[in-house]
Amino acid sequence: MNDATERPPRGIRLLHALQKDPDWPSITAEELAVVSVKANRKAGSRLLRVVTGFPDRGATIAWQEVTLPDRVVGVRVYRPSSGGDAALPLVLHVHGGGFVGTASQCDWGNSHLAARLPAVVVSVEHRLLTEDTALADALDDAWDVLRHLVSHAAEWGIDPARIVVAGESTGGLIAALAAIRAKASGLRLRAQVLVNPAADLTATMHDYPSMAKYADSPTLNTPRLQLFHRLAVPPGTDPRTVSPLYADDLSDLAPALVVVPTLDPLADQGRRYAERLLESGTPARLSEHPGATHAFITMPGLVPQAKAARAEITEFLRNRLTEPQSAQGITTKARVR
């Protein structure tokens, strides 16, 4: 790989130079809460859309609430602006960030999917990681919202036979775990899209070459990953239960598109998960984007590769949602781009 593709895009480097990371190893719970609120307010602001991208005008966007038996979960809903009364496919989306992050940071990509597939995209404003909230809680939010939507498909205007899950980073990890749960519960998904996903939260999490090579990546570094791991897997938790790479059975899952930016400490985890899916007989496609950094698909204003990734995701989902369910089980080779 040449030097040009080994360097993050200029806009990412400039943004990183202008920002100062908190002291992640010593940050207190109170300080983390303040950081999270500020980061999410900025990520969801109209001003930052020069970075996060402008929503597709062919989609409407609105916050709604999903009332579950024991809690209420906020969701950001994207629908095509025009169309009839026919039930549409559902894209259950999970945003990234871990201990920060909000559904509105993904307006660019999700509004495009809603308008172009077309589909109803529901992005889950799941609980963020704290000293009292583990990854399992965020996973429950996504899974319980998905079950609610399937059970109330007519109310939401969705077709329960055409459902996919998608997510980035922590959201990609949650989407992968949701796909595993779906098979166990008998829910047939059409596809799963995992963008720069974490896949291994066990003791081997930092043993991948990309973890060492990109330890100081401007969009995800080792101190931040260490805090994420500490919050995601509290003492006494078996990390294999939230590590798709260590799932006992990955066969017969929904076909997967695994999108990997090459300048990412998590790149090798995504690659290995795509390999494991294929080894288990689950259709999987690996798509690599040279020169892109972690979280690149939420920053199209700074990372030009985001547009190509979005186009590929749209095409992949369109194909999966339109072909007969019986054709979903054909294993495909991993593809590197």
Supply the mean pLDDT for the chain. 93
Other CB atoms within a 10 A radius of the CB of residue 323 amount to 12
Decide if pLDDT at 333 tops 70. no
Q: For this structure, is 294 an active site residue?
A: yes
Q: For this structure, is 93 an active site residue?
A: no
Give the C-alpha separation, 117 to 191, whole Å.
14
Of 93, 264, 287, 289, catalytic: 264
Other CB atoms within a 10 A radius of the CB of residue 277 amount to 28
Q: Would you place residue 222 in the very low, low, confident or very high pLDDT band (cuts 50, 70, 90)?
A: very high
Sign of the CA dihedral 37, 111, 232, 293? negative
Amino acid at residue number 312: E
Q: Are 152 and 144 in contact (CB under 8 A)?
A: no
Of 112, 126, 148, 294, catalytic: 294
Q: Would you place residue 5 in the very low, low, confident or very high pLDDT band (cuts 50, 70, 90)?
A: low
Q: For this structure, is 169 an active site residue?
A: yes
Q: pLDDT value at position 326?
A: 54
Decide if pLDDT at 332 tops 60. no
Decide if pLDDT at 1 tops 60. no
Q: Would you place residue 53 in the very low, low, confident or very high pLDDT band (cuts 50, 70, 90)?
A: very high
Q: How much is the pTM? A: 0.94
Q: Are 205 and 229 in contact (CB under 8 A)?
A: yes
Q: Are 34 and 318 in contact (CB under 8 A)?
A: no
Give the C-alpha separation, 218 to 36, whole Å.
18
Decide if pLDDT at 142 tops 80. yes
Of 169, 210, 243, 287, catalytic: 169
Radius of gyration of the chain (CA): 18
CB burial string 228-267: b at 16+ within 10 A, e below: bbebbbeeeeebeebbbbbbeebeebbbbbbbbbbbbbbb
